[in-house]
């Protein structure tokens, strides 16, 4: 009788832990760069990112007017010097969503004219 109760308890506990784990996996967050201001010259994206935690599995969304801006994912050298080519990846739809898939530091700049030089850039650190 005691053994049967223990097995039942173990099964229930297993499913509770499984449900908690699945819930944790689904707890992805969507980060809208610049919030209501979007990805623009008038939004300090690095200031926006301060204090936020970006986790693997989260989404980073860039909203902007297509044609007026774009988003280039670049390396640290290109970020610091606003070097537009070569880039890692380009986004230009105006509503770009990027899955943060690995622990890393990621850099973004706007590749339109002098936008990066005028501060339209973002650097984030993705944590587990």
Domain with residue 46: its CATH number is: 2.60.40.420
Q: Which domain holds residue 45?
A: 29-127
12 assigned to some structural domain? no
Within a domain: 61: yes
Q: Look at phi and psi of residue 51 and say left if phi exceeds 0, alpha if psi is from -120 to 50, else beta.
A: left
Q: Who has greater pLDDT, 15 or 63?
A: 63
* pLDDT higher than 80, residue 6: no
4 occurs within a structural domain: no
Task: Give the separation between CA 111 and CA 71, rounded to whole angstroms.
Answer: 7
Counting the structural domains of the chain, the total is 1
Q: Is residue 15 part of a domain?
A: no
106 located within any domain: yes
Is 62 contained in some domain?
yes
Is 35 part of any domain? yes
Does the predicted model carry a pTM greater than 0.85? no
Residue 76 inside a domain? The answer is: yes
Instruction: Give the torsion sign (CA, 39, 43, 47, 51).
Output: negative
pLDDT band at residue 66 using 50, 70 and 90 as cut-offs: very high
Helical (H) or strand (E) element with 61: strand 59-63
């Amino acid at each position: 009788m005691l053994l049967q109760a223990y097995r039942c308890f173990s099964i229930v506990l297993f499913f509770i832990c499984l449900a908690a784990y699945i819930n944790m996996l689904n707890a992805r967050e969507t980060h809208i760069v610049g919030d209501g201001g979007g990805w623009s010259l008038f939004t300090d994206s690095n200031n926006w990112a301060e204090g936020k935690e970006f986790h693997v599995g989260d989404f980073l969304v860039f909203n902007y007017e297509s044609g007026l801006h774009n988003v280039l994912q670049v390396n640290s050298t290109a970020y610091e010097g606003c070097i537009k080519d070569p880039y890692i990846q380009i986004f230009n739809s105006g509503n770009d969503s990027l899955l943060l898939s690995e622990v890393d530091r990621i850099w973004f700049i706007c590749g339109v004219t002098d936008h990066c030089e005028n501060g339209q850039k973002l650097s984030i650190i993705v944590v587990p």
